[in-house]
Structure 1
Amino acid sequence: MPTTAPRSRPGPDRAPASGRRALLGMTVLALAATTVLTAAAAGPAAAAAATPIGNDVDGVAMMYPTKAGGQEWRLDGNPAADDRLDGPALKRNPDGTFKVTQADTRLGVLSATYDHDDEDDLVWSQPTLRTVGYQHDASDWRDVELTGYVRLNKTSDTDEEFTWYARGARHTGTGDTPQTCWGTAYKANLRYRDGATRWQKELFHDGGDGYASGSWQHSGASVQGKLVGFKAVMFNTPAGVRMETYLDRSNTNTWTAVASYDDQGGWAIDEDNRCGGTRDEVVRWGGPIATLRWDLASDVDVTRLSVREIDPRATCNRAQPVAGVSANTYEAVNPPQNAVDGNLTTRWSGYGFGAYLTVDLGTRRTICGAGVAWHRGNLRWNDYTIYTSVDNVTYVKAWEGRSSGTTLQPEVTGFPARQARYVKYAWWNNAEGNGWASITEVTALSA
């Protein structure tokens, strides 16, 4: 029989019992730091100061390290001679920025191995893409950080937006296969009139069809008439795709983590998927073109544009020492100490929706990720949330989602770095629906 230990609330936004996702259908939770995008509209994520890992060659903060041997592209002083950059003419301004006067602009950045002559050979069937992982080749843009500073000088519609996107090829308007299926993407939007952001998923390109859209969040001041930095980050996780947006509203290289999202299925388009995939297909493959786009803006200045292939786990890989561990419920034969003993054959088991394990790191540390290994993790998925706290009183959500259900090894999830002493792992359900949370090992990770 399980033992009930003294409880401390896992944070003011702890999911209520009425929100049981696997028993009652997937429910979208409004998260403090991460939103799982599913069929319903997602709640806003909290904006917070970002913790960069360093600056790039242009002096712009990088949120994640460049992948070892990975691709990098940056706008240099002679864009007309850049054979990897597609788009309208860029004219240098006296202040070093570049002016673009084409109202509907697409600046396409080709991968290092791609040429438009290869277009007819692109993989477009989404069931095939799930297996091969790319449309053109292994050099496709997939796990990327797209950055650009933009100054909107003139627009005919302030409801339009800047859009940074990747994981597809050329977006055409034909609606016919295979062309329509080249146009897959995750798209980060920055609205002109109020600086609000959102994410969209595009499963095929045919005008406005093929889209699933999140809600606009974190509106504020207009971006018109000033240089604003905008970043879009996307990378694969064990359970889906992570998306993050960042803003530098003051042009001082001071970035805010505006929102984080995870697409783990359930975030669906309204129509049938014309490319053989599901309506809620998760775009886990790469594409040969990353794009910086805007519409109905006939005078825009740009600078410090870049696209980098990133390794989100490259520097967040140091397990932190544990000073103590507790749980709100556990079996006497499977106590919480088993989850931090370094042994994947022992486990903590607690019964009930909302069972949680709390690790005390002993002192405040900067953590940027966590690892969880599950009992029977190769046979069933688990829905869970990771919370952090500096005082064991107020907790905020760092990550929420579902394990892969395919491995007994620890599955690592990354999140924006933050100060924490306590890390709480709260369980909601598993594929078997048996009411038991069973974790063999947990770790908190720092750079």
Structure 2
Amino acid sequence: MDIVIKLSQFLLSLSLLIILHELGHFIPAKLFKTRVEKFYLFFDVKYSLIKKKIGETEYGIGWLPLGGYVKISGMIDESMDKEQMALPPQPWEFRSKPAWQRLIIMLGGVTVNFILAFIIYIGMAFAYGDTYIATEDLKDGIWVTNPAIENAGIQTGDKIISVNGNKIERFDDISKNLYMASEVTLERKNEIKTIKFPINIINQISNSGVKRTLVEMRIPFIVSVVEKNSLNYQSLKSSDIITHFNGVPVKYADEAIAKFKNFSGKTVPITLKRGDKIVQTTVKINDESKLQIAYATRLPYSNIEKLNLYKINREEYSFTESIPIGLTTGVDGLIDYGNQLKKIFNPKTEAYKEVGGFAAIFNIFPNTWSWESFWSITALLSIMLGVMNLLPIPALDGGHVMFLLYEIISGKKPSDKFLENAQMVGFVLLITLLLFANGNDIYKAIVGK
């Protein structure tokens, strides 16, 4: 069932983004009286699943879910329709339209992507408001859960002040900023320190083999699951909170875990809170310094509030207030993704090794249905789709825009032969990138990263 929910969100989001992107090309094309021959969700290589012709346009759904397209008459695109291009230009064709109209048609898709992201963020601010924990309320600092971050110099108990010179005000912003960090300013034992991160930190995080956030809030050691084959099946129950270990108080899970290492293979007395009761018992530590149980590394805000661990900040916005909030979130998303691309295109960062394909996108979606998560992910993917399509690569919108700007500035239109060759080069490059990204997914699945 989990996989069905995950797949449903993935396909719904992908379909929505593709249809709206192509609609961004379709509408200005029709406004400028340019004939659109096909409008397809997914690619109809050899055959289509569904198709229906309405007026001069064939609408359909292809079988290959790698994107979608609109086929505009008289345009050199992925269809490589050389027969049509060999005929004299017709007034309804793309190539017969003024350069400025062709530019608007080509920019329509990415424009819709960016507008969609902003609309979603505005809607989310209005519908869900904002719930967060301020970093200043983390009085005992953060819990480092990824060894790559620890090796970079961040320690459990540190209070993160800024990353790359940007002040971090919310806990949820810490992990995503550390991925892109080159310099981190923090407070450790009342002393301000600046930590320089290695340039290939993204690759080091991936190679750590730890599939969770880089840091967590420091929370008590809360028992999550105790399997029947556990050494401590009789001693511990789900939701137990360990408060003392070997007679010594332990406030946080990281403190308890650190103490386990000194008692490998031993039986140790503990005190725990079970509901409203205080229970004295013993636990067995195995040779690997573990209790053989699952424990909580994060808690929902409702549980954090119930346990009175941290102050939960809640803000609600009117529709008018949501507009600047949503726009700011969208702009921040654009900047963040732009910075990610810089890392990817810099070989020294080794970030290119973490480029993912459809499996990586699929895995972003949660196993449970959440409209808030769905819209947040869809907005992010819309930004990514818009930025990627603007790259000056022939076969992408950005490649067409590049040649159109050249034509507008120079007054000279590139020949059809040149555009055909450029389209072919761009297509080969895109296939190579597609194979590389999805190959990364396959490699990571095989090696278990």
Structure number with higher relative contact order (C-alpha < 8 Å, ≥ 6 residues apart): 1
The structure with more radius of gyration = 2
TM-score with structure 1 setting the length: 0.22
Q: Which has the higher helix share?
A: 2
